[in-house]
Structure 1
Amino acid sequence: MSIKRNALSVGVVGAACLAVALTTAGTANAHGTMTNPPSRIASCYAEGPEHPVSQVCKDLVATSGTQPLYDWNEVNIANAAGNHQALIPDGRLCSANRDKYAALDWPRTDWAATAVKPGAFTFQFRATAPHLGTQTVYITKAGYNPTQPLKWADLDPTPVAQVQVDRNTVNGSYSYSGTLPQRTGRQVLYTIWQRSDSPEAFYSCSDVDFGGAATVSSLAAPATPAVAAAPSDAQIAADASRSTVAHHGHGGDPGAPAGQPVPTASAAVGTSAAGPLLLAGAGAIGVGWATMVLRRRRLEAVRRDV
């Protein structure tokens, strides 16, 4: 009886270990940014990190290099836990107070902008690794001056959109409705994605233009204002190996080479149709292993008796 119990225990443990190994293997990229209206980093990335088109994106690459653009989906704070204002000082909202993304905080009027008008608006957030949490979108107050660093006090405390998100996306994006208030000229939409399954949060700044009177800039505005664009799925896939944050957890994983498979959370079993099949297969292999061990130990016992 003890032999059977031991063999069965070995089989169960083997099945469990194999199930974990199978369900944690995979590739997942972190994590996301607003793409409608495109965030500053999404728009510059869409222009191409190696050959940006707009002057502000050229200046960003000249100052910070191309890596921040290849890591367009990682403007985050791993341990935010809702303490956004305590962790991000005025003037550093767009970068989430990370030096790597400091150029995103530049108070310039030549960031590519999306033309909008008051009323209903459909937001789209590209999530390369969906997470449970809340996405909240704020807009700057009337009279916002885009030539000054963005401060918390510049944001209208009433969100223009707020939604609970889960691990289910449509074509890799979250899509939800909001309402834009009356504004004129250039404004900024500030998005905070606070995860509920982790203290991690993500941030983005999207420039929009309501038309009408605009604040005079100390920097000459381009003759033809650039229109913000979002990166395509093809571009994201082609550049995946250039990212240094290919990880499902909290920001970059320094122990994993960029573009290589990284273990993902076992919770993925519950959100993937393949999960139960993997567990079933692992269980079958485990039972087979248990049977083999049992037979071997019986044979050894017979030999000892002889």
Structure 2
Amino acid sequence: MTIRRKLLSAAAGVALAPFVFALLPAGTANAHGYVSSPASRQAQCAARTVPCGDIQWEPQSVEGPKGLTSCSGGNGRFSELDDDSKGWRVHPVSGSMNFTWTITANHRTSTWEYFAGGRRLASFDDGGAQPPSTVTHNVSLSGLSGQQKILAVWNVYDTANAFYACIDVNVG
């Protein structure tokens, strides 16, 4: 084979590579979501209410292993979400509150859980159902008073991961 033929063959391979990759099957999309109302810490970052780093571009990406209790979901890139002194907007509430999740990539759901001070306030079992683009839960805040940090957790059904969001409230 001549050098010219080798060069033409290599050029043809390079030109065809993008088309070959486009025909390959795509992987399964990962679930992504966050509490958008009342504005969670990552929603405040995305809205530029509070100055933040990478999380401002991807508030839906606070994902980590199930069972964590941190606002960052154990993700070092989003560790500023764990900083209680950052100036987060505090939402005034009374006896109960609606929490609305914005789902940007659906994935089957095991449970949704809400915690304050290490105590589980509510759990909603979806039994593996795939959620719509928004999900709202009404959570009783009875027994709580004053400023609280609510940890909202979306447990994915068929992975070992969950999505985490913290919402600062003042129960009065």
In which range does the TM-score fall when normalised by the shorter chain?
A: 0.7 to 0.9
| Deviation of the 1:37 alpha carbon | 2.2
1:73 match: secondary structure: helix
Is 2:166 aligned against 1:166?
Answer: no
CA contact (8 A) 1:37 1:123 kept: yes
Alignment partners' CA distance in 2, 1:101 and 1:161 = 25
More helix by share: 1
Q: Please report the TM-score for the alignment, with normalisation by the length of structure 2.
A: 0.73
Aligned to 1:117: 94
Alignment partners' CA distance in 1, 2:138 and 2:169 = 16
| Deviation of the 1:166 alpha carbon | 2.6
Alignment partners' CA distance in 1, 2:123 and 2:94 = 15
Equivalent residue letter for 1:33: Y
| Deviation of the 1:159 alpha carbon | 2.3
Runs of at least 5 residues in structure 2 that lack an aligned partner in the other structure = 1-22
Q: 1:1-306, aligned counterparts within 5 Å?
A: 30-47=31-48, 53=49, 57-58=50-51, 60=52, 65=53, 67-77=54-64, 80=65, 82=66, 84-85=67-68, 93-108=70-85, 110-119=87-96, 121-133=97-109, 134-140=111-117, 155-156=118-119, 158-164=120-126, 166-169=129-132, 172-211=133-172
2:47 match: secondary structure: helix
Alignment partners' CA distance in 2, 1:175 and 1:201 = 17
More strand by share: 2
RMSD: 2.6
| Deviation of the 1:29 alpha carbon | 7.6
Aligned to 1:296: none
CA contact (8 A) 2:71 2:166 kept: yes
Answer 1 or 2: higher relative contact order, Cα 8 Å, separation at least 6: 1
| Deviation of the 1:111 alpha carbon | 0.7
Q: What count of residue pairs does the alignment treat as equivalent?
A: 148
CA contact (8 A) 1:161 1:179 kept: no
Equivalent residue letter for 1:129: A
CA contact (8 A) 2:121 2:141 kept: no
CA contact (8 A) 2:101 2:135 kept: yes
2:106 match: secondary structure: coil
Equivalent residue letter for 2:129: D
Equivalent residue letter for 2:87: D
CA contact (8 A) 1:32 1:126 kept: yes
Q: Matched residues, percent identical?
A: 27
1:96 match: secondary structure: coil
2:56 match: secondary structure: helix
Aligned to 1:263: none
Alignment partners' CA distance in 2, 1:116 and 1:107 = 19
Deviation string, structure 1 residues 124-159 (Cα, Å, up to 9, x no partner): 11111122121111123xxxxxxxxxxxxxx21x32
| Deviation of the 1:71 alpha carbon | 1.2
- CA separation of 1:131 and 1:189: change in aligned 2, threshold 3 A: same
Deviation string, structure 1 residues 265-300 (Cα, Å, up to 9, x no partner): xxxxxxxxxxxxxxxxxxxxxxxxxxxxxxxxxxxx
Equivalent residue letter for 2:171: F
Q: Please report the TM-score for the alignment, with normalisation by the length of structure 1.
A: 0.43
| Deviation of the 1:74 alpha carbon | 0.5
